A = this chain, B = another copy of it.
Amino acid sequence: MTLSAKIVTHAESVPAGPSKKTLADYIFGRWLATAEEDEQKIGPLAGVPVLGLDALSSAAYGPEAALTLLLPLGALGLSFIVPLSGIIVAVLLVVYVSYRQTIAAYPNGGGSYTVAKENLGQGAALVAGAALALDYVLNVAVGISAGVGALVSAVPALLPHTVSLCLAILVLLTIVNLRGTRESGLTFSLPTYLFVASLGGILLWGAFKAFAAGGHPVPVEAPPALPVSTETMSLWLVVRAFASGCTAMTGVEAVSNGVPIFRRPTIANAQRTLTVIIALLVALLAGIALLARAYGIGATAPGESGYQSVLSQLAGAVIGRGPLYYVTMGSVVAVLALSANTSFADFPRLCRVLALDRFLPDTFATRGRRLVFSYGVVVLAVISGFLLVAFGGVTDRLIPLFAIGAFLAFTLSQAGMVAHWRRIGGARRSLWLNALGAAATGITLVVVVVSKFADGAWVAVLLVPLAVLTFSRIHRHYRYVGQEVNDSRPLDLSRTTSPLVVVPVQAWNKLTSRGLRFAVELSPDVRALHIVTQETQDDAPCALARTWDSLVVEPARAAGLEPPRLVVRKSTFRQFFAPLIEYVEQVRDEHPSRDVVVIVPDLVVRRWYHALLHNNRGIILKGLLRLRGGPRVIVVNTPFYLT
């Protein structure tokens, strides 16, 4: 085929990356080529900090949240913490097994959105997407402020700097995540494993001491006495305690959502990571519950003097306030503050999937310099930064919203997996496991919504539909534009005529001649439009008209070109734009099949403030002609550079 010889393909690698190191290169790292993707992938060791921080840090606040609600029962309340934790661990295990299956079924990232979309339809998928997005955003704000809260309660001198500390951690997380997935895994390994090792060690040592003492160990540092019972036990109280304790399960979906960041064998690595995370979490939750019971540790009233976190009491009871105590509490602070990192790994991927389906702007789907979806990282940082500032760095009131997002996404994902197994048939055991998961998380969701409704859960009930509506509106706009723009017909060149060119000319100078020279290159039909805004003597030809022949017409004739015509218009009201637009409209209507090009020579100044000294007619005119010119009018600014 001879025609295709015209297609020139330069497939060689263009060295488009910046050649000298800029400041941005130092902060964010050099640009990574698309082909370097595999080197950015991670294994389970880095996977636990990247995707597990959210889940693991839950151990620091889940049991405490449940114990706080049991506070009015006094010592009696403590007897409920072990069975309640047992139920939570059971639900967690069900969720674990079903998410293992999800990972295997959706190796390209089986976030709740994808699973819901493929099995339950787009509507359910958008609800899941909105719920997850809410969860991720709140997780950043809640995680960072919980960590900073623990820090300032240890070092009260830092209290006035709460918001600044929160924002500093946010900036750190943002930069590390913009540097890429691998980098964030390495950065956050140390605090994660320190947390697991020190807290796990304390729990093991405490369990050994409790066993040795026949179930009644003597605390090194006695925890505060449990308060006198002020309420009698009721089912409602236990249900609410359960709902609060369920925040311990948030963050478990993160691995299934982030499968593609693992190196090969992808599925096995992702499943291993999930297993490690869940095993650690179950161990921590069970250990905390059992030792709290053994040492008689309850919650203390939050926000009152004498408040001490459950983990602090527990560490004090087992090992006393030695150096290890402080190392452990320091790692708790770090893990809480960094738990926001899970959102940074998953939120941009969620936005990307939504953008690929055209429910969010395209930009969310483009990968930045370090192969992460930078736009999502930045948007997440901005929204959660806004929340941190708005709430002054104290986000307790956001916690109920946060569990709802997570459990709504869980339930839809599990329900989607049930539909998945039914569709592909066969796998009965898998189907039942996911059905069990859906039931467990669904019931938990209902419990959380009902018991926390007045505490702020109603905001989530409002926000999720609002987000779904926004997604739909964006989608509708893109679909509409797609239809408008869609074209499979070949190029229609049947009516191609050279455009009619209008050049506004106010005086003779280099800008004018630059504009006219370009105009003559484009078309033989050029009109130089001179608008007289100053008062002049009637009918006296302006200077331009007197010299037009010698300046323009004669050189054009000499070059064998059609000379530009000078058109003079008087502006009664001293306006420049009104008569110009009117002339353009007139010319456009006189030539219904031709394009009309308006050339406005533009001065390119060397300093931005010099622009204040020049009329920026090019920009104004372009705006006006966008409004009034229509599709055939095209404004062109020819640049004139000051040397």
Q: Which residues of A contact B (CB under 8 A)?
A: 1, 3-4, 6-17, 31-35, 37, 361-363, 366-369, 474, 477-478, 480-481, 484-494, 496-499, 508-514, 516-518, 520-522, 533, 535, 538-539, 541, 545, 548-559, 561, 563, 565-575, 578-579, 582, 595, 603-604, 610, 612-615, 622, 626, 629-631, 633-643
Contact = CB atoms under 8 A, between A and B. Distances in A.
Contacts of A574: 34, 366-368
Given A7-B545, A487-B510, A559 B481 contact: no
B551 A494 contact: no
A534 to B, nearest CB: 8
Nearest to A32: B573
A553 B516 CA distance: 31
B634 A33 contact: no
A35 B508 CA distance: 27
Contacts of A490: 550-552, 554-555
A366 B477 CA distance: 43
Contacts of A642: 480-481, 484
A604 B631 CA distance: 9
Contact of A14 (B4, B7, B12, B579): B579
B513 A487 contact: yes
B613 A361 contact: yes
B487 A499 contact: no
Nearest to A31: B573
A379 to B, nearest CB: 12
A16 B575 contact: yes
A481 B572 contact: no
30 contacts: A3-B554, A4-B548, A6-B563, A7-B548, A7-B549, A9-B541, A11-B539, A13-B572, A16-B572, A16-B578, A16-B582, A33-B572, A34-B574, A35-B535, A366-B574, A367-B574, A478-B613, A485-B509, A485-B603, A490-B555, A491-B520, A491-B551, A492-B513, A493-B561, A497-B521, A499-B521, A629-B639, A631-B640, A634-B636, A634-B638
Q: How many copies does the complex hold?
A: 2
Contact of A573 (B363, B369, B559, B595): B369
Contacts of A551: 490-491
A636 to B, nearest CB: 5
Contacts of A548: 4, 7
A545 B9 contact: yes
B565 A8 contact: yes
A481 to B, nearest CB: 6
Contacts of A521: 496-499, 595
Contacts of A557: 3
B513 A491 contact: yes
Contacts of A538: 11
Per DSSP, chain A at the interface is mixed
Nearest to A576: B366
Contacts of A37: 535
A368 B639 CA distance: 29
A556 B491 contact: yes
A193 to B, nearest CB: 34
A553 B6 contact: yes
Contact of A552 (B1, B8, B11, B491): B491
A573 B33 contact: yes
A471 to B, nearest CB: 12
B643 A639 contact: no
Contacts of A516: 491
B522 A499 contact: yes
A485 B512 CA distance: 9
A363 B615 contact: yes
A491 B510 contact: no
A393 B468 CA distance: 50
Nearest to A37: B535
A510 B522 contact: no
B474 A572 contact: no
A556 B6 CA distance: 13
B613 A14 contact: no
A557 to B, nearest CB: 8
Contacts of A567: 8-10
A363 B484 CA distance: 42
B491 A555 contact: yes
Nearest to A599: B634
A484 B510 contact: yes
A34 B488 CA distance: 54
Given A508-B488, A552-B491, A481 B603 contact: yes
A641 to B, nearest CB: 5
B498 A486 contact: no
B510 A493 contact: no
Given A545-B7, A567-B10, A582-B16, A508 B496 contact: no
Given A10-B567, A574-B367, A634-B636, A612 B361 contact: yes
B16 A571 contact: yes
B630 A549 contact: no
Given A17-B578, A490-B555, 8 more contacts: A14-B582, A31-B575, A32-B573, A368-B574, A477-B610, A484-B642, A626-B639, A633-B639
Nearest to A361: B613
A519 to B, nearest CB: 10
Given A572-B17, A579-B14, A634-B639, A486 B509 contact: yes
Contacts of A15: 572
B520 A493 contact: yes
Question: Lowest 4 CB-CB distances: which A-B pairs, in order?
Answer: A493-B559, A16-B578, A487-B510, A485-B509
Contact of A518 (B31, B571, B634): B634
A579 B14 CA distance: 7
Contacts of A487: 508-510, 512-513
